[in-house]
Structure 1
Amino acid sequence: MTPSDDDRTHGGLETVTGAGCDGRDACCRLAAGVDRRRFVQGLAAGAGLLAWRAPRATVAGPFAADDAIDHFVPADKKLAADWVAGLFARGERTWYAGDDLATIGMPVGGVAAGQVYLTGDGRLVYWDVFNSNHNTGYGAVNYQAGRKPTDVVSEGTFTAATAVDQGAAIQVTVHGRTVARTLDGRGFARVRFCGEYPVGRVEYADDALPVAVALEAYSPFIPLCAADSSLPATVLKYTLKNGGDAAAQVTIGAWLQNAVLNDAGPELAGQAERRNRVVQEDRFTAVVGSARPLETAQEKRREPIVIADFEGDGYGQWRVEGEAFGDGPVEGTLEHQQAVSGYQGRRLVNSFQGGDDPQGKLVSPEFVIERPWIGFLIGGGGFADKTCVNLVIDGKPVRTATGKNAELLEVRNWDVAELAGKRARIEIVDAQSGPWGHVNVDQIELRDDPKTDAAIPLRRRRDFGTMAVAVLGGDASAAASIPDGDALEELFAALRGEPVASAEKPLGENLRGAVGRTIELQPGAEATVTFVVAWHMPHNYRENRWVGNYYGKRLASAVDVAAYVAKNFDRLDAETYAWLETYYDS
């Protein structure tokens, strides 16, 4: 069945416009052939029999006065025979296409194991796997029409979710002609989506390509088996079918960015690097991403030059604008403020003086950048250009940082080696009113090395761990790193080139690994290639108390997750689909 933009049937209801809608722009009515389950779901949603529009003029009746002599509800409902038969008919899948795909986001991560979402065109987005534990808001905002799966709700507004560079692509060679496409809406002219939890299905078709692709994505979901239903992994099963009249050589590959220390990257610049390595075993081939601390030569370190520690009664030579910062630094938490922590010494800059409404700015005296790093502590609001610290040169901000909508002050570092010798100022800005309309700042230093948070060792951070992308089975290829640039252009060259077994990059750069397989498809033949995307971030905290993650008790790393899925794949796959088929076919 070919994907179609005209498919507008959702759960048994079809959208109707114009005549028959009582003058409204659009309304819904029951689609022909509605099954029992969709009908019951419609009732549960509050549609009710009276509001329900059937394809027939009447479902029950007509009734005469004699039909209700003994009771207001007649024993014989005079239901239409074909309508009753429709209640017992097997339902059909609901497919979405066209503009509908833009707002689809289906959860495909393990239960309580972090979450990723499958988009309508088959990408993985909204990477909530780093133990950030953010409150995404409430229904009035969360369920607004038009919300995209890449949106996070923060303080009642949409912001971009954590982005991880991930995807898949296919390369097809027929009669010496090679065509490559990404497996998403960019790569294929016709894409359609069907969600039947826990499995999301995406189909790709294009008249210019003889090979059609069908994706089935899920995390194993097996009722009464918590361990196998809470794996930090997503399975991506791609079925390739050659609809042409000639043999096709097909390479399918998947890539994944190493996003370990994703949230801490800015504050750990220069202190750690990311590393990818290829792991090949009998059941799978994977690229595993991790991070490790960098050792800085002790002899190169000098005592930091303190630009400001904010331990005095006033701001000294700093210029004060507006009312938000008051007359000077404060001793910790202010009245009506959540508990402030993470500052150094007794005092800090806190623009909550007077609450979240006042605004203002602090501007430092001019200084010369004579060390390669500037380190400081910052908390409070997370509004770019509104609640921030700026490094200003010649009147223009060249570096900036914000809080994370939390009162905890955390370390930030700017690499300013390229600015050595220039004259600069620090600006602390509060230009935001309302919730989180304040900024907390302390201990600004010029340093030879990045400032560290000694209270949280690197290996105990929330976002420290491992990630992996694996292809199941043998006869696979892998590259620990694919070059920067468009993934489609670099992927297949990397997979076919000289093997790269390991690679390292600084935190500020994109380190992507890839795995793939090449197969020969005869006309009419099909084959399935299965990938696994896995993550392992074991250090989860609640109110600064370590609680860990359940999966960390039984699996030591993302490669262990991939190995477990590979070893038990036939069972995990069969039992997941057994539940799905029982539920949706009942």
Structure 2
Amino acid sequence: MSENNCYGGGRCRPPIPDELTRREFLGVFALGAGSLAAGTMLPAITARTPERVPAFPDSWRHPITPPRVYGGKFLEAVAMPIGGIGTGSVWLDGQGRLGVWQIFNNLNETRVPDSFFAIRARTGNAAPVVRVLQTVPEGNLQPVESLTYEGGYPIARLAFSDKALPVEVRLEAFNPLIPTDAANSSIPCAIFRLTARNRGQTAADVEFIATCQNAIGSRGEPGISGRRSRGYGRNRNRAVRSNGWAAISMEKAFEPVETGPVKIRAGSGEIVPAPEMFWFASLSSLSMASAEILMRTAKAGGVVVAADVQPSFMSDIAALRGGAEELKTKYTVYEDFERGNYDGWTITGEGFGKQPSTGTHPNQQRVSGFLGRGLVNTYLPNDEPQGTMQSRPFRIERRYIGFLVGGGAHRNETCINLRVAGKVVRSTTGKNREQLEPASWDVSEFRGQEAIIEIVDKRSDGWGHINVDQIVFSDIPPEAVLQIGTPVGEAARAIAIPFSAAVVSQKQEAGFAVKMLPEAPAALRNIREQWRVTQYTKLEGFQNGAGGHRVWAATADGDPLIIEGPLGQGRIVIALAKDLPWSWAAALFASARTTPLKDGERIVPAIPGWGTMALAALDERAIVTPRWDSHEEIAAGLKDGEDSGESQPGETYDGAIAVPIALAPGQERTVTFVLTWHFPNVTRFKHEGNYYARRWPDAMAVVREVAANAEPLWQRTRLYHETL
């Protein structure tokens, strides 16, 4: 037995056994091994099975490494992540704040405002003392005077001090972390145990308060200001009550659903394998990016649903369906750098040389993707030289300006710009690749104005150069003429909708209801939510049934509004007006698929910001406030509520839960709060989806799991913490 078990400050512990036999080790930890053997099955741990917490030798009650306790200026250097393995985390910092939120599949170090813990306490008839349980204020809510922070992962213990408070307060924050129990160690949650102890001579009334902002839609990105963020809107908080706990379910309506992939999820939340599906919230032009998605889906036998399909998109399709000779009438080449000189350009600096480049320079990676023999390549003889090129003035007469571009990805430093009236109105950089790729600007808003093109190299370190070739003015998406075999032309031919012209209809301010045609699938006819249209893209020369294209919905006059038809080996559905409800879009995806959905399966957006959150108190006395608007409401005492309703565009709501407790002299009680999250859509290292989405369909399901097993989860985690 070792006798040398004392540390700085005179702290000692009992002797440590020299050796633990393999049999003893397996005997102690065998109870946790079943979780691993179960694979993805939920562990059979419940609050009624305390025997799952094994009995340890007394000598194990003392940690191998005592945790450090931080105070004073050292609190600036401490923070601990709280969250299950592989699920994301919130960071509890030395000020007592939830300072960094990384639960949204994000890496940003963003703080979600209005998310904190507080106490409201009083004795007798005295006025209540309200404090935020951190050392910085929240609005006009005062902080505690000081705290100490014991950091010993996975449990952080904070002790708060404030002479005005009639009780002692401490916090134990953790996520379940149990050796050999992967399932219970990877729950998307953070658990907070707040304890109050009455050391006075009179009874004390205490309320512990937890408040959290519904941050769905923010993606954890910078730019949250108060309750405002560009991703907020239609956020909603609902009170949910059950035996032994109460919660706020934090949700967000799908609409408006941004452009992105779509998935099928089973009732359990797990992704159902299926051919690719993609949602376009709007299509105004046939760009390279949209064409690549269309062709990928077409070849995979998937489904595309596109809303707000505009006349300009349909016109692009019509123009690009023609042959090579017809395409030549749609564009002009402004500069191809094939003359062997820079006539017509004003050059400054040394970066461009005296004539166009002919390809790859010495010590440069292979340059490719340019047309002909000449191009701009400012790697001369390396990244050090700088300079600018400005074209002669020209008048913008066509819709697009296209070009091939490569080189450095340095904004404002290695780029090609469009200047109108002396100001840069469009700019594109390379992608830190030597291969030139098509890029374009829609310049229709500047039609008739004078402009110049500017090529810039103001960088001298890594990737401090720019490659440019084949500048064209075009009435059609230029990508089709900038590279042979581009997906743009393929996509135009794959969308074989027969029509002669596309125009904008007259606007009807009051809007009108959409008429369902007999061919419309049952899933569409059964939707109760209305889609009111004020203006739409009118297709001339379209005939229902031609080429396998069917009209599912139309105006009262018979103009098509929803058309379904072939897209290569897949299907495409276009909606010729904006504001298509997601309930309609989901029905269109389901109807266009060759395989019907099974019971419990649903079609959902796969964008990273989609998900749910929840805040719960594991106490049936909890007061649930789905929406609070001022800190005075917290100071005055929270009121029960049911539903916040939906927030306005760009805004969200804060929700709070309070748990009242009465403490006799010498008594202490603990209240447990739980924060859960469920953001299933992420792709990392070619792995799609968060693993926890296979186990729970939403954040409230996680609350129910934690509430049912809270005590064993705490005891088993504490045991691991105390041991190590």
Q: Structure 1 length normalisation: TM-score?
A: 0.57
Tell me if 1:202 matches 2:345: no
**Which 10-residue stretch deviates more, 552-561 or 248-257?**
248-257
Where does 1:84-163 land on structure 2 (aligned, <5 Å)? Answer: 94-132=68-106, 161-163=109-111
Q: Pick from 156, 170, 177 the counterpart of residue 118 of structure 2.
A: 170
Matched with 2:40 is none
Matched with 1:281 is 241
Matched with 1:459 is 605
Tell me if 1:216 matches 2:204: no
Q: Pick from 16, 33, 40 the counterpart of residue 11 of structure 2.
A: 33
Q: Deviations over 1:413-439 (max 9, x none)?
A: xxxxxxxxx999999987666467789
Tell whether the 8 Å contact from 1:285 to 1:473 is kept in structure 2 after alignment.
no
Paired with 2:146 and 2:80, the residues of 1 have a C-alpha distance of 20
Tell whether the 8 Å contact from 1:201 to 1:216 is kept in structure 2 after alignment.
yes
**Structure 1 residues 473, 384: closer, same or farther in 2, change over 3 A?**
farther
Q: Deviations over 1:60-84 (max 9, x none)?
A: xxxxxxxxxxxxxxxxxxxxxxxxx
Tell whether the 8 Å contact from 1:110 to 1:219 is kept in structure 2 after alignment.
yes
Tell whether the 8 Å contact from 2:615 to 2:676 is kept in structure 1 after alignment.
yes
Paired with 2:419 and 2:605, the residues of 1 have a C-alpha distance of 34
Matched with 2:204 is 247
Q: Pick from 138, 146, 158 the counterpart of residue 190 of structure 1.
A: 146
Paired with 1:276 and 1:510, the residues of 2 have a C-alpha distance of 10
Q: Pick from 560, 581, 584 the counterpart of residue 722 of structure 2.
A: 581
Q: Deviations over 1:177-202 (max 9, x none)?
A: 24332221211111110012211111
Tell me if 1:538 matches 2:683: no
Paired with 1:166 and 1:475, the residues of 2 have a C-alpha distance of 23
Task: Report the CA distance between 1:350 and its aligned residue.
Answer: 11
Paired with 2:251 and 2:358, the residues of 1 have a C-alpha distance of 43
Aligned partner letter, 1:567: A
Paired with 1:470 and 1:439, the residues of 2 have a C-alpha distance of 54
**Structure 1 residues 89, 497: closer, same or farther in 2, change over 3 A?**
closer
Aligned partner letter, 2:133: L
CA RMSD of superposed structures (Å): 6.3
Task: Report the CA distance between 1:204 and its aligned residue.
Answer: 1.1
Tell me if 1:468 matches 2:611: no
Paired with 1:356 and 1:535, the residues of 2 have a C-alpha distance of 47
Task: Report the CA distance between 1:127 and its aligned residue.
Answer: 2.9
Task: Report the CA distance between 1:172 and its aligned residue.
Answer: 2.1
Tell whether the 8 Å contact from 2:171 to 2:195 is kept in structure 1 after alignment.
yes
Query: 3-state SS of the aligned residue for 2:646?
Result: strand
Tell whether the 8 Å contact from 1:260 to 1:274 is kept in structure 2 after alignment.
no
Query: 3-state SS of the aligned residue for 2:117?
Result: strand
**Structure 1 residues 227, 260: closer, same or farther in 2, change over 3 A?**
farther
Tell me if 1:226 matches 2:182: yes
Unmatched tracts of structure 2, length 5 or more = 19-61, 137-142, 224-228, 259-280, 283-306, 317-330, 370-374, 397-404, 436-448, 473-503, 505-576, 579-602
Task: Report the CA distance between 1:504 and its aligned residue.
Answer: 2.9
Aligned partner letter, 1:169: F
Aligned partner letter, 2:204: A
Tell whether the 8 Å contact from 2:121 to 2:166 is kept in structure 1 after alignment.
no
Q: How many residues align?
A: 457
Paired with 1:438 and 1:480, the residues of 2 have a C-alpha distance of 54
Query: 3-state SS of the aligned residue for 2:168?
Result: strand
Identity of aligned residues (%): 30
Q: Deviations over 1:373-425 (max 9, x none)?
A: xxxxx9999989878999999999999999999999xxxxxxxxxxxxx9999
**Structure 1 residues 108, 350: closer, same or farther in 2, change over 3 A?**
farther
Task: Report the CA distance between 1:258 and its aligned residue.
Answer: 0.9
Paired with 1:304 and 1:473, the residues of 2 have a C-alpha distance of 58
Query: 3-state SS of the aligned residue for 1:229?
Result: coil
Aligned partner letter, 2:173: A
Tell whether the 8 Å contact from 1:313 to 1:328 is kept in structure 2 after alignment.
no
Q: Deviations over 1:465-522 (max 9, x none)?
A: 2232222232333344444xxx74565679437654333344xx45243231241433
Q: Pick from 131, 153, 156 the counterpart of residue 181 of structure 1.
A: 131
Matched with 1:526 is 668
**Structure 1 residues 540, 96: closer, same or farther in 2, change over 3 A?**
same
Where does 1:476-487 land on structure 2 (aligned, <5 Å)? Answer: 476-483=622-629
Matched with 2:710 is 569
Query: 3-state SS of the aligned residue for 1:568?
Result: helix
Matched with 2:273 is none
Paired with 2:636 and 2:466, the residues of 1 have a C-alpha distance of 47
Matched with 2:543 is none
**Structure 1 residues 173, 263: closer, same or farther in 2, change over 3 A?**
closer
Paired with 1:316 and 1:489, the residues of 2 have a C-alpha distance of 70
Task: Report the CA distance between 1:277 and its aligned residue.
Answer: 2.7
**Structure 1 residues 89, 301: closer, same or farther in 2, change over 3 A?**
closer
**Structure 1 residues 561, 91: closer, same or farther in 2, change over 3 A?**
closer
Paired with 1:462 and 1:567, the residues of 2 have a C-alpha distance of 29
Mark the structure with the bigger radius of gyration: 2
**Structure 1 residues 254, 273: closer, same or farther in 2, change over 3 A?**
closer
Paired with 2:406 and 2:249, the residues of 1 have a C-alpha distance of 35
**Structure 1 residues 488, 33: closer, same or farther in 2, change over 3 A?**
same
Matched with 1:49 is none
Task: Report the CA distance between 1:215 and its aligned residue.
Answer: 0.9
Paired with 1:555 and 1:339, the residues of 2 have a C-alpha distance of 49
**Structure 1 residues 212, 498: closer, same or farther in 2, change over 3 A?**
same
**Structure 1 residues 581, 260: closer, same or farther in 2, change over 3 A?**
same
Query: 3-state SS of the aligned residue for 1:112?
Result: coil
Unmatched tracts of structure 1, length 5 or more = 1-10, 14-29, 41-87, 135-159, 342-347, 369-377, 409-421, 451-456
Query: 3-state SS of the aligned residue for 2:183?
Result: helix
Q: Deviations over 1:185-236 (max 9, x none)?
A: 2111111100122111111111122233211111101111111101111111
Task: Report the CA distance between 1:312 and its aligned residue.
Answer: 6.5
Tell whether the 8 Å contact from 2:625 to 2:657 is kept in structure 1 after alignment.
no
Tell whether the 8 Å contact from 1:471 to 1:530 is kept in structure 2 after alignment.
yes
Paired with 1:91 and 1:190, the residues of 2 have a C-alpha distance of 26
Tell me if 1:559 matches 2:676: no
Tell whether the 8 Å contact from 2:149 to 2:158 is kept in structure 1 after alignment.
yes
**Structure 1 residues 561, 278: closer, same or farther in 2, change over 3 A?**
same
Paired with 2:721 and 2:159, the residues of 1 have a C-alpha distance of 19
Q: Pick from 487, 494, 513 the counterpart of residue 654 of structure 2.
A: 513
Tell whether the 8 Å contact from 2:232 to 2:652 is kept in structure 1 after alignment.
no
Matched with 1:53 is none
Query: 3-state SS of the aligned residue for 2:693?
Result: helix
Tell whether the 8 Å contact from 1:534 to 1:558 is kept in structure 2 after alignment.
yes
Paired with 1:107 and 1:304, the residues of 2 have a C-alpha distance of 50
Paired with 2:691 and 2:463, the residues of 1 have a C-alpha distance of 32
**Which 10-residue stretch deviates more, 386-395 or 237-246?**
386-395
**Structure 1 residues 523, 541: closer, same or farther in 2, change over 3 A?**
same
